[in-house]
Amino acid sequence: GDYWYTQLEDFIAELDKEAQELKQMEEQEMQEFDEPSMEDSTSVDGKIKSSKSKAQKKANNKSKKNQVKRSNAKKTLLNSGGDALFDKVYQNMEKHKEAFFVVYLHDPKNVPSLPPVTDEDPLLTCEIMDGRDAFLTRAKDLRLEFSSLRRAKYSTMHLL
């Protein structure tokens, strides 16, 4: 019973770790960008002159804009952590849908647009399953018990 609980905790921990790594990378990029290099300026007669050409300045402005865009993209990735968590859960469910009973629920807004459900199996009538009293009477007559898993399995086999 604790499988999905522990899986969710692991997925959340992974996403937190990825978010921290992205944040650290962003901070490193900002530190590298903010540090002035000694090659960029030279001192002549106490005046600081830039050795950068106009083309280099334009390239730096473009790189600044690209970094801002990348940082915004990273922030949206961090903010959409719930979507990433859902994606990981769905991927894991797809791997294990043979071992688990998986049900995909539809959005209530989309339910009217869904096609009607058609059951291909015919309805079976059984006097034991018509009501609670018939089932209890039959189980009492045959001395069937459902108090433990072992007894429930035996009783179910006997009824079938």
Which pLDDT tens digit goes with each residue over 35-90? 655 444 444 555 444 444 555 555 555 555 555 544 544 444 444 556 888 888 88
- Is the predicted pLDDT of residue 153 greater than 50, yes or no? yes
pTM: 0.40
Q: What pLDDT score was predicted for residue 75? A: 46
CB 29 within 8 A of CB 36: no
Q: What pLDDT score was predicted for residue 98? A: 83
R_g of the chain computed on alpha carbons: 33
Burial (0-12, 13-18, 19+ Cβ within 10 Å), 45 = exposed
